[in-house]
Amino acid sequence: MSDPGSPDIRSRDLWVEHPQGRIFVREWTPPGAEGASPIVLFHDSLGSVELWRDFPAALCAATGRRVIAYDRPGFGRSDARSGRPALSFVADEAGEVFPLLREQLGFTRFIAFGHSVGGGMAVHCAAAFADDCEALITESAQAFLEERTVRGIEAAKEAFRDEEQVRRLGRYHGDKARWVLEAWTESWLHPDFADWSLAEVLPRVRCPLLAVHGAEDEYGSVRHPQTIAELCSGPARLEIMEDTFHVPHREQPARVLQMVAGFLRGLA
């Protein structure tokens, strides 16, 4: 079907088979994208394909590339999971989910774009498949656990004591909403997660990097993108957006699209 906001862009919904159940995928394809590596979007802790809203279609139009977004197992329209994710869940995405996407969707080379915890997952995928990752884009990604991160999650957990907030989350995750919420808060606030860091994996990222971060991000200071840029082995570009919080692509979409499109044009 054509995307209603961009008549020349074709979108379609797909399913990827996974041992934990089906994974929901949506892709957007512009004219003339054949041969170009797709951009794969990794969503945040409460995210889903639908919560990217119109950003994937706009990203597709701005870059001229196929864009792929998916709901992680247990999220959005993907099948429910039993039990909480292991505390290695950030790294596990590169070993347990992403290879199946590549195989069943038929792509080898790719550009990884991750928001928040999805940024950490994108880092792991860029490192695990370093020969095939053309570029890495992190947006509001955490590289370690700092006090601001903990405070932000604790505040969100308190806010979600309001069942109306959980019902709103259910618009995107259905009856999995409570599981999604606890998969986030109980993992990040677990004592054994306190020493989590991307420090060991970042040096294995060799591709060009764009690290985008809001100066007012309530879940992490600018130390996070600085750390990501400093420890990656490839060329790095750091963009700190003033007057911006945790979701730059929603708060200032035109600026984010401009930065990403310019960054990717520079790869040629």
User: Mind listing the pLDDT tens digit for each residue in 191-228?
Assistant: 999 999 999 999 999 999 999 999 999 999 999 999 99
From the list 173, 196, 158, the residue with the least C-alpha distance to 77 is 173
- Whether the pLDDT of residue 87 is over 70: the answer is yes
Task: Give me 98's structure tokens.
Answer: 């992403």
In this prediction the pTM is 0.96
How far from 165 is each of 4, 21, 150, CA to CA, in Å?
29, 27, 20
Per-residue confidence (pLDDT) for residue 20, from 0 to 100: 87
What are the pLDDT digits (tens) for 28-45?
A: 999 988 889 999 999 999
Compute the average pLDDT of residues 67-96. Answer: 96
Per-residue confidence (pLDDT) for residue 241, from 0 to 100: 98
For residue 7, name the pLDDT band (cuts at 50, 70, 90): low
Instruction: Give alpha helix (H) positions in 30-176.
Output: 55-63, 89-92, 98-105, 117-128, 147-159, 163-173
CATH architecture for the domain at 2-143+197-265: 3-Layer(aba) Sandwich (3.40)
Per-residue confidence (pLDDT) for residue 34, from 0 to 100: 84
User: What residues contact 147, with CB distance under 8 A and at least 6 apart?
Assistant: none
Q: d(Cα 53, Cα 30) in Å, to the nearest integer? A: 17
